[in-house]
Structure 1
Amino acid sequence: MVEAFAAKDTLKVSFQSQGKGRHKTVSFMFKALSDETRLTFFSSFYHTRVDDLVSLCGPVLDEVEVAPLPSC
């Protein structure tokens, strides 16, 4: 599970890894409350490998893009 928080909105995305290099693309629209709005991402299920207690395993967030919507 990866969670995204922006302004007053929250999105939770689940992904079941099968160890085959798959990915999932998700869009999350939110309305900024000010000129500076914090975006936060959190992975709920990180864990370490049995043979390496330092390296984290779990969902990876990559290629985040933030863009304004065109005005109407």
Structure 2
Amino acid sequence: MRKTEPDPMITTSLRLPESLLDQVRDRAAAEDVKTTAWIRGLIESELARTEPNGVEARLKRLEDAVFNRSA
């Protein structure tokens, strides 16, 4: 029986200016990760940051509540 991944990876195409891709490759190499993994990490971080119930969003709501009531 073949085991399937719970969330399989899908390939997609992304068009970037050559100069931007060079910068991305340099940053990924500096962090010793593949270029695609580095890009995926940025996307995942941004989605987590903007998730309505994510840690950053909850912290911002808490800070807003504390500082707005104290003002």
What is the TM-score of this pair, normalised by structure 2?
A: 0.24
Structure (1 or 2) with the larger CA radius of gyration: 2
Structure showing greater relative contact order (alpha-carbon pairs closer than 8 Å, 6 or more residues apart): 1
Higher helix share: 2
What is the TM-score of this pair, normalised by structure 1?
A: 0.24
Higher strand share: 1
